[in-house]
Structure 1
Amino acid sequence: MTVEAIANRLRGDVDLEYRFVISIQGFTIGVSSNSEALIQQLTSYFGHLVVNAERWDCQVEAIEGSIDLSDEGWTDWPREAGKSGRKEAYIDGENFRLIHKIKTGAYLLQSSGGVIIRGHC
């Protein structure tokens, strides 16, 4: 399993047509999504950080929609003492970590190429 294969599964055939860029002390983050409502909420929240930029230092892709990656080899994240049930699971690969938020069904891919989040926003 490669980071590219996981990223392609998470993206599917979704068009990430909505975008904005924020700058935090000169570090720019490009955010793209298939959800206009999510982008509107985020630009409202981060409004004071939104900038016009053609390039950015880090890419975040927020994809609205469900996907099932239960066929992968997950490791359960240990719970705090006294707590039970599964909260999160993860897969560590070469140059990436894939996290599954059990309750929400969301997936988060962290890699040097950026971040991809898929779930119901």
Structure 2
Amino acid sequence: MKIDITEIRKITVQILIDITRVWMYRKYLKALFLHEEMGVSLDALSKEFNVSIDTVKKYIAKVNQIEKSGSKEEKYKMIIAMLIPEKNKYDNRDIEEIRRYVIGNNLHAEEWFYKN
């Protein structure tokens, strides 16, 4: 499938907008990583995020829920959060990888993709 340069620009702009919107997904992933990979306790995470232990459990459960869901939009947001863990620290390779994911999965044709 060929995509013209105008569409590529639109996709790129939307990705740049979405990078700033996925902060909650970054929080979910950070909680999961710290708990499962680093062994940080739920109590310590609740203090780190300044939330209750139940909320930390919900963060972790949310990642698993998204992985199991069929929602392309949720998975797209999770991909952005995984590839760009800090909204102000990314380079062109990160953007290119997300753009390939978007085009490869035809997400730019989805109704929800160009929300502003």
- TM-score normalised per structure 2: 0.25
Task: Tell me which protein shows more helix as a share of its residues.
Answer: 2
Looking at secondary structure, tell me which structure has more strand per residue: 1
User: Which gives a bigger RCO, structure 1 or 2 (Cα 8 Å, sep 6+)?
Assistant: 2
TM-score (norm 1): 0.25
